[in-house]
Amino acid sequence: MIAPCTEAHIPAIFAIVNDAARAYRGHVPEDCLHEPYMPEEELRGEIAAGVRFFGWFEDGALLGVMGIQDVQDVTLIRHAYVATRTRRSGIGGKLLEHLLALTDRPVLVGTWRAATWAVDFYVRHGFRLVDEAEKTALLRKYWSISERQNETSVVLRYALRATQHERQHQPPGFPPARE
């Protein structure tokens, strides 16, 4: 079941994020990783900055988390992690589908370039990679990250929802994009 996470869930969110982030070892540049991957104070800072976490719960246990954050004129998918023991069971896809239903804004997600499994996950769920120049501009505009993280990251845009601009500028007779 999907539900919003609360203050009481912070220890479980912390545990899931740091458990799942172990997958980055050997892929993401070592100078971009630290232990824990996301300290509790950073997690609390993300929440204070407007990241709303939703979780997948089974039998009262939190098994996966994903955040959503409205920044300026877009919505960002933030901090998507599933406990290692339940990975590849559909939890991430269900959380993502839920979060996409919460917004009508353009949706972006950033992730490590070397985390090919994460890039593939988002592509399977209707996201498309933006080019390098746009990636750099988007990361600088909507995220607060280091230049090193910018260099080693990618941005994907949700492509299955037509924007108002795209709907207004489609040629006559062109099939409408999925809403």
CA 34 to chain centre: 20
Which fold would CATH assign to domain 2-168?
Answer: Aminopeptidase (3.40.630)
* Both tokens assigned to 53: 């976490």
Question: What is the identity of the amino acid at 40?
Answer: E
39-80 pLDDT per residue, tens:
999 999 999 999 999 999 999 999 999 999 999 999 999 999
Query: CA 75, CA 59: separation in Å to the nearest integer?
Result: 30
pLDDT category of residue 88 using cuts at 50, 70 and 90:
confident
- Strand-pairing partners, residue 76, are 69, 108
Query: CA 100, CA 50: separation in Å to the nearest integer?
Result: 17
Domain ranges of the chain: 2-168
Least confident of 42-56, 147-161, 163-177: 163-177
Mean pLDDT of 76-91: 93
Mean pLDDT of 139-157: 94
Residue 115 three-state SS: coil
Round the average pLDDT of the chain to a whole number and report it: 90
Alpha helices (H) along 55-175: 91-100, 116-124, 132-142, 147-151, 164-168
- In this predicted structure, the answer to whether residue 28 has a pLDDT above a threshold of 60 is yes
